[in-house]
Each structure stands twice: as C-alpha cells, then as structure tokens.
Structure 1
Amino acid sequence: MKRHLPAALLATTVLLVGCAVSEDTEVSDVADVEIVDTVEGTADADAESAPSALPTEVTAMLATYGLEEVSDVRDAVDALDQLDETRPLSVHASVRTDEVIFIDGEDEYAVPVPGDEVYVSIAPYEQHTHECHYHALGGCQGELVDEEMHVTITTNDGDVLVDEEATTWTNGFIGFWLPQDTQGVVSVTRGELSGETEFDTGEGGATCITTLQLS
C-alpha cells in the first residue's frame, strides 16, 4: 500500500502517458501516472521535520533546468509550470490534490503538498485541447501560449477566489492554488471570447482543466 510520506523514495514501475495537443482532434492523451508497484521508504520522523521538502534526486532533476535552488514542493510546482521551455520536458511530475509525484526513470518520489490548498492548472482553448485529469508539469501543452485573458474563479457559495488579468505560460496554462474541498466555476474572457467550466478540489479532483473553450 502506498504511503504519503515526504521526500519518500518509492521504487516503482510506472506507466507515464504524456499530455499533448493534437492538431487532428480535440482529445489527445491523458496526463496520468498509473502506480503498478511500490516499495516504502524513509522514516516517519522526516514527515514531521520537512513535510514539503524535495528528495535530493528530485532537486537534481530540477537543476537540469536551472532550478537548483528550489527545495519546496509548492515552489517546484510553480517553477515547473511557468518554465519557459517547450514541452515535453525531461522532468516528469504529476500533480494530485494532496501530493506531487515525480518520476525519474523507474523511480517515483511522492511528496505531499502541505497546507490546505490544491494546485489547479487551466488551459483555455479555442480550437484544440486534450483530455486531462492530473496535470503533468513536464508534459501538458495547451493551445493558447502567451495570451492575455481575464480569469475569475468563484465558489458555489459565491466567494470570489480569483479575479485578475493573467497571461498563459509557454505550456498554454495558468495555475492557481485554491482551497481544498471547494467546488465552483472558472470563467475566462479573452477579448470578445469567453467561456467557463466547473472545478472541484475535493479528494481525487482534477488538477488539470482543459475543458474551458472560448467562443
């Protein structure tokens, strides 16, 4: 059984399917990691001392992109998603609602996300999109790159979490840390085009939103 330990080295065989935009269809591959087998590692004492620290193997992976100073899992998520590099990257990382799974060859490193927020990355589109549930920081590529738009994120209770101008990154996404166990609507306006879709940061919820079409 998989344990949610910080900086845990989980030797595993994994199936990694990357995210990419298809020019021929609106649905492409699913960004996901299927865990076939795991081996537990590290001590519980580490969980209390550094709940979001990255294992040295992961920091070495990040260093290949000039991110050697990144040592916290939240900072790693932000840095990788905003990295100005063409996808796919050699760094494979799958964002879940409670942890980020980094994959290096046949080794997997599951790092819990501390606090009470979930990272949700959004790729608004006009013509082409891809199917996705868990955001692949090194693989997902959206259609609209370096495009300015207005983003509003509102809960079902009417609370406005985000109301700001944003510019999509090189991977075509924009990401936000949202409260756990929250449901609502993401609305995006770009010029005369607009669209909206639902979000859910409950357990197992989607961290990759690719269903927001601007029309």
Structure 2
Amino acid sequence: MNHPLPSTTSPASPSVAASRRRRRLSAGLAALAVAGIALAGCAPAVSPADVDSVASARDLLAAHDLAGLDVGEVIERLDAMPVADRPDDLLASVEPDALLLRDTSGRESRLPMPDDAVYISVAPFREQTHECHFHSLTTCVGELSDTEMRIVLTADDGTVLIDEMRRTHDNGFTGVWVPRGIEATLTVESAGLTGTVPLSTTSPDDRTCVTDLQLL
C-alpha cells in the first residue's frame, strides 16, 4: 500500500474546520435575513401566494426535523444520514446557488447558499458509479461507503485549497465546501489508489456531484 502524499499545507482539524464553516454559513444567512427585512420596508405588501410559499417551506422543514437549521446544517445532516434512515418522501437537490427541497405533499423550500462557498459531494469509485450533476442528498448512493480517503483540491494557480483526510458517509459520498469562482483539480487517494478530475465553481450550472473520479 502506498503511503499518502506528503501534505503541503497544515489544515485545521475537522472539528475546527467544521466550526469555522458553520460560523461563516450562519453569518451569511444572517446577512441575507437582515437584507430581506430592510428590503421589505420599501417593498409592496406580501401577496397571499408569497405567504403560502413561506408557510409551505416552514412546514416542510418542520415535518422533516430540519427546522431551525441553516443551509449548511441541513445539507450535512441529510448527506450523513444512514441510507436506511433516509426519508422516502423528500427530495433535496444541491445546486451551486441554493438547496432545493420538495416533498410528496407538494411543499417546497429554497435555502440560499453562502456567497463565498459551494457544497460539492464526491463519490470516488473503483468499479461502479452513476451519472450525476446536482447532488441529491436523499437518493444518491456511491460505491465506497465508510471509506477513508485523502482529498486534495488544487487551484489552477497551484494554491492548495483543501488537503485533508476524510471518510465517506454511508451513502458513499463525502462533502467539501469549495470557494466560489475557481477552476481547480480535485485529487482523491485511498488504499494506494488515486484519481483526479477537474472542478469548477464559476457558474450556477456547475456540477455539485462528482461521480466520475475513478480510483486506479
């Protein structure tokens, strides 16, 4: 078995990094909320349809035990959920600009992403995979469940943005928060095997689901 590549950075511990991400996400959502309040003061009265939409979104989050969570916490809870515990009446699609939620009752919710980061779910594979563009938190399943791997993200200018050990969730994916507006190379190493794919976060149409990274 090959030894992991030598680290070129000194990343924070997972707990510290997660805490920083949560603080950034909460701050971003708080700013959005404040902006919404400020705009509401000089905007036309909210229509009944808008009120219904807000109520529908609130009911959806409460029905799936997601009330009170910011967008990052919702994503990380659903992505890390054991496959056997996944709700079969909820669809959750991760797009670069928002998390879109919809359930079988017709309720919908759109949670904006942070201004400075995009959530990318990665499912490296050895033999079997599936096509995917926008990651589905409640339906996507990758080949390598509960597998330790090293994730390295290198910008086109050579800057190492991420270099850390991760373990895939029960669904075979591991998620990383990636800066917006970059072109980069994603490298994954696991059990002596390595795979590399290009990654972009410059467009609202860029993928959030990486399932074409084969470990060889």
TM over 0.5: yes
1:209 aligns to 2:207 (yes or no): no
Aligned to 1:96: 95
Q: Which has the higher strand share?
A: 1
Contact 2:125 2:215 in 1 (8 A): yes
- Give the distance between the partners of 1:202 and 1:108, measured in 2 at CA: 26
Aligned to 2:59: 57
- Bigger Rg, which one: 2
Q: Which amino acid aligns with 1:101?
A: L
User: Please, which moves more after superposition, 162-171 or 98-107?
Assistant: 98-107
1:77 aligns to 2:86 (yes or no): no
* Aligned-pair CA distance for 1:42: 4.8
Aligned to 2:174: 174
Q: Which amino acid aligns with 2:60?
A: V
Aligned to 2:129: 129
Contact 1:87 1:138 in 2 (8 A): no
List gaps (5 residues or longer) in structure 2.
1-31, 34-47
List gaps (5 residues or longer) in structure 1.
7-38, 47-53
Q: How many residues align?
A: 166
Change (3 A) 1:146 1:112: same
- Give the distance between the partners of 1:185 and 1:87, measured in 2 at CA: 33
- Cα displacement string for residues 25-77 of structure 1 (whole angstroms, at most 9, x for unaligned residues): xxxxxxxxxxxxxx96259xx9xxxxxxx9422322432xxx55x52111101
Aligned to 2:40: none
Change (3 A) 1:88 1:131: farther
**Helix, strand or coil for the counterpart of 1:149?**
strand
Identity of aligned residues (%): 36
TM-score by length of 1: 0.70
Q: Which amino acid aligns with 2:134?
A: Y
Contact 1:86 1:170 in 2 (8 A): no
Question: RMSD in angstroms over aligned alpha carbons?
Answer: 2.5
